[in-house]
Amino acid sequence: MCGIVGYTGPRQAYPLIIKGLKRLEYRGYDSSGVALLNGTGLKVFKKKGRVTDLEEAVIGKNLEANIGIGHTRWATHGEPSDRNAHPHSSASGKLAIIHNGIIENYAQIKQELVKKGYSFTSDTDTEVLLNFIEDIQKNNSCTLEEALRIALKRVSGAYCILLIDQDDPTTIVAARKGSPLVIGIGKGEHFLASDASPIIEYTKEVVYVNDYELAIVKPDELILKNLGNEKVTPYITKLDMELAAIEKGGYDHFMIKEIFEQPSTIYDCLRGRLDAEAGAIRMSGIEKNIEQLKNANRIMIIACGTSWHAGLVAEYIIEELCRIPVEVEYASEFRYRNPIVNKGDVIIAISQSGETADTLVALEKAKENGAFIFGIVNVVGSSIARISHAGAYTHAGPEIGVASTKAFTGQLAVLFMVALKIAQEKGTISTERFNNLVNELSEIPEKVDAILKNAEEVKKIAEVYKNASDFLFLGRGYNFPVALEGALKLKEISYIHAEGYPAAEMKHGPIALVDDTLPVVFIATKDTYHEKIVSNMQEIKARRGKIISIVTEGDEVSPGLSDHYFSIPPADELIAPILTVIPLQLLSYYVGTAKGIDVDKPRNLAKSVTVE
Ligand code: G6P
């Protein structure tokens, strides 16, 4: 949460920072700001609202500077407002800071500073941290870097911070713990950001800063140190990402671009791993750790949000194919209870961003208890990818729309391959079934493409129901988690209240909501549960609820019970969730856009949740 950008070098810093902030707006968008340093001193501009509001606010100002830092905020301490926006400046007016994270013990530090006569202009923990640093700098007559190091030993919480100092007008001092920081290495210039998207245009050589590291960044020098003041050698990585991947490419929104990318992102995910001709799956992360995985006493899946829904689908698939007990946990619950984690346990962590704070801390805890961590992550080089013992990337490319779409189908594809591979090694699947499922999986990109060709049909359904105040999503078996995901997508993007339920559970409560105004979305594809879900449709119809169903092509029963239906190509029931979720993604997109909502940046949400 919160996006940060910094630059030091020969270019004009302001336009570069603004462009970078726009790319990072998915991380938060309730206010933004920049701090610039030039011959006339430190200048800070900030504004409530989107980055475009900031741009308007600075029209006519002198923005000349070759060094600067910028921030786009997702509020934690203090309401979204001009004065709580970052950057914050210190009491002396010489230092400026931007911060992504939370300083948990800020209240105590604030009290100490107030006693010393400090006053504050914002409600933020960040301004407290900055004045604490400046106070140490003054009292110890030390450099900013030393003061920062001393301060960080006192603070608890998470941070990625960038600092600039009027008295050292070419240097950015940065530090990270828990919130991401990437530094791009240019020729006589350096770029700093929360992820690589603001950097990719200028250089492909980057350094991912680790927790408890400080960076002293000048145009032609990058020094990394640990909190013990020892130098650390920067490990330079080459970015494997193209600029086009983070642009809208002619689509109205990133979300719809990402929905339509799914045939190719799923293909990229399977490519090099799934060999339908040879009837094989090749995944080095599984192969190298096969003993650990196939002999697991138990698999625990830890994730949040949409990734948690992918975990629920995986629970059904892994138990079915591998006969290993699986538990799926919300990371935020797991980390604060006293879970039983033993040496023979395998943890599968699922995360698009690889930076979700709750997931990250939950994994650290499980790792301490001796669990083996297998990460399924989209962002290459992210924190979760790095703390996992092994893993598999989803290869969906940058996902920018706040509501996750292509990352979800990528997660399902990887989880499916993981389950198949373990089952094969464990001998819990016949060769025939394995080959059939491998074949089915290889056909998925084509089937997704076929569904997307009929997107207009979903748009028409969305038009009919866009003014509903509630929605119910029902599914059974492998499609129950898809019902949860359909409801979550709609809530996120259209602000319509929606609930996902196992279809049979509907009788134990939600059925009381049904009347002739309630749209009920059934995922009613042809599978083991088909007859049962048809009965559930009858029950809704008898109460005059409006039925929208996702059915298998050729189904002669479900369409007759539905007010609207959408057909998808047939697929094995284990794989079906990768297909059934697509019309639900489209439904939320078309309802959201019909209501005029900025679907890429819905209110109150952020894509990468780096606070608890
Ligand atoms: C946020 C996003 C969701 C995402 C969840 C988990 O809530 O808005 O789309 O599913 O975080 O994020 P992760 O990056 O760990 O998958």
512: Cβ–Cβ under 8 A, 6 or more apart, which residues? none
CATH 3.40.50.10490 residue spans of the chain: 248-442, 454-599
What per-residue confidence (pLDDT) applies to 76?
81
Distance of alpha carbon 172 from alpha carbon 192, whole angstroms? 9
* Identity of residue 249: G
Integer CA distances (angstroms), 96 to 286, 291, 322, in order: 46, 52, 54
The CA 350 to ligand 1 mean position distance, Å, reads: 10
When pLDDT is cut at 50, 70 and 90, the band that residue 518 belongs to is: very high
**Angle, to 10 degrees, between the axis of helix 444-453 and the axis of helix 455-465?**
50
| DSSP conformation letters of 243-289 | GGGGS-TT-S-HHHHHHHTHHHHHHHHHTTTEETTTTEE--HHHHTT
* Digit-coded pLDDT (tens) for 321-379: 999 999 999 999 998 888 888 888 999 999 999 999 899 999 998 888 889 999 999 99
For residue 516, count other CB atoms closer than 10 A to its CB: 8
The CA 305 to ligand 1 mean position distance, Å, reads: 5
- The pTM (predicted TM-score) of the whole model is 0.83
What burial class does residue 284 get, using C-beta atoms within 10 Å of its C-beta: 0-12 exposed, 13-18 middle, 19+ buried? Answer: exposed
Contact status, residue 384 vs residue 352, Cβ threshold 8 Å: no
The CA 356 to ligand 1 mean position distance, Å, reads: 7
State mean pLDDT over 513-526. Answer: 93
Is the pLDDT at 611 greater than 80? The verdict is: no
* Digit-coded pLDDT (tens) for 135-185: 999 999 999 999 999 999 999 988 999 999 999 999 999 999 988 999 999
Distance of alpha carbon 51 from alpha carbon 46, whole angstroms? 9
Q: What is the CATH number of domain 3-244?
A: 3.60.20.10
Mean pLDDT of the chain: 94
State mean pLDDT over 181-197. Answer: 96
CA angle 346, 351, 352 (to 5 degrees): 150
What per-residue confidence (pLDDT) applies to 436?
96
What per-residue confidence (pLDDT) applies to 115?
96
Q: Determine the straight-line distance between the first and last CA of the chain, rounded to whole angstroms.
A: 10
* Digit-coded pLDDT (tens) for 524-550: 999 998 989 999 999 999 899 999 999
Pair type for strands 372-377 and 345-351: parallel
Q: What residues does ligand 1 touch, defined as CB less than 6 Å away?
A: 304-307, 351-353, 356, 359, 402-404, 605, 607-609
* Identity of residue 605: L
Is the pLDDT at 385 greater than 80? The verdict is: yes
Architecture of domain 248-442: 3-Layer(aba) Sandwich (3.40)
Distance of alpha carbon 54 from alpha carbon 44, whole angstroms? 11
Is the pLDDT at 607 greater than 80? The verdict is: no
454-599 adopts what CATH topology? Answer: Rossmann fold (3.40.50)
Is the bond leading into 87 cis (omega within 30 degrees of zero)?
Answer: yes
Distance of alpha carbon 25 from alpha carbon 21, whole angstroms? 6
Contact status, residue 62 vs residue 31, Cβ threshold 8 Å: no
Counting residues of the chain whose pLDDT is more than 70, the rounded percentage is: 100
Is 187 a residue of the active site?
no
State mean pLDDT over 44-48. Answer: 96
Contact status, residue 441 vs residue 274, Cβ threshold 8 Å: yes
Which residue lies with its CA nearest to atom 5 of ligand 1? 305
Is 447 a residue of the active site?
no
State mean pLDDT over 480-505. Answer: 95
* Identity of residue 32: S
Is the pLDDT at 208 greater than 90? The verdict is: yes
Counting residues of the chain whose pLDDT is more than 90, the rounded percentage is: 83
What per-residue confidence (pLDDT) applies to 250?
84
Is the C-alpha dihedral spanning 175, 177, 180, 183 positive or negative? positive
The CA 308 to ligand 1 mean position distance, Å, reads: 9
What per-residue confidence (pLDDT) applies to 605?
80
* Digit-coded pLDDT (tens) for 92-127: 999 999 999 989 999 999 999 999 999 999 999 999
- How far, in whole angstroms, is CA 257 from its chain's centroid? 17
State mean pLDDT over 265-284. Answer: 93
CATH 3.60.20.10 residue spans of the chain: 3-244
Is the pLDDT at 590 greater than 90? The verdict is: yes
The dihedrals phi and psi of 410, each to the nearest 5 degrees, come to -65, -40
Which residue from 353, 380, 603 has its CB within 8 A of the most atoms of ligand 1, so it is best to mutate?
A: 353
Pair type for strands 213-218 and 172-177: antiparallel
When pLDDT is cut at 50, 70 and 90, the band that residue 430 belongs to is: very high
* Digit-coded pLDDT (tens) for 447-473: 999 999 999 999 999 999 999 999 999
Which residue from 25, 307, 491, 610 has its CB within 8 A of the most atoms of ligand 1, so it is best to mutate?
A: 307
Contact status, residue 118 vs residue 131, Cβ threshold 8 Å: yes
